[in-house]
Chains A and B, each alone.
Chain A
Amino acid sequence: MLDFAVIFVGIVLAISLLLNVYRLFLGPNASDRLLALDTMYINSIALILVYGMHSSTTLYFEAALLIAMLGFVSSVAFAKYLLRGDIIE
Chain B
Amino acid sequence: MNDMFEIVISVLLVIGGIFIFVGSLGLARLQDFYTRLHAPTKATTVGLGSVLLASMIYTYATEGYITVNVLLITLFLVITAPVVAHILAKVAMHHQVKMIPRTRNREMVKLARKQLPPTATTGVEEDGRLP
Task: Please give the residue numbers on chain A whose beta carbons come within 8 Å of chain B beta carbons, in ascending order.
Answer: 1-2, 4-6, 8-9, 12-13, 15-17, 19-20, 22-23, 28-32, 34-36, 38-39, 42-43, 45-46, 49-50, 52-53, 56, 58, 61-62, 64-65, 68-69, 72, 75-76, 79-80, 82-83, 86, 88
Contact A76–B84 (Cβ < 8 Å) = yes
Question: Which residues of A are found within 8 Å of B23, using beta-carbon distances?
Answer: 16, 39
List the A residue with the shortest CB-CB distance to B79: A72
Contact B25–A32 (Cβ < 8 Å) = no
List the A residue with the shortest CB-CB distance to B28: A19
Judge whether B124 is part of the interface by a CB distance below 8 angstroms. Answer: no
Contact A65–B28 (Cβ < 8 Å) = no
> B51-63, CB under 8 A of A: which get 1 and which 0?
1101100110011
A70 to chain B, nearest CB (A): 11
Question: Which residues of A are found within 8 Å of B84, using beta-carbon distances?
Answer: 38, 72, 75-76, 79
B111 to chain A, nearest CB (A): 15
> What are 9 inter-chain pairs, A to B, with CB distance below 8 A?
A1-B7, A2-B9, A6-B13, A12-B18, A30-B95, A34-B88, A35-B40, A42-B20, A46-B20
A1 to chain B, nearest CB (A): 6
Can you add 11 more A-B contacts, CB < 8 Å, to A46-B47, A53-B55?
A15-B21, A31-B95, A39-B27, A50-B51, A56-B62, A65-B73, A72-B76, A72-B83, A79-B84, A82-B91, A83-B87
Contact B73–A64 (Cβ < 8 Å) = yes
Contact A2–B88 (Cβ < 8 Å) = no
List the B residue with the shortest CB-CB distance to A60: B55
List the B residue with the shortest CB-CB distance to A26: B28
B30 to chain A, nearest CB (A): 10
Question: Which residues of B are found within 8 Å of A4, using beta-carbon distances?
Answer: 10
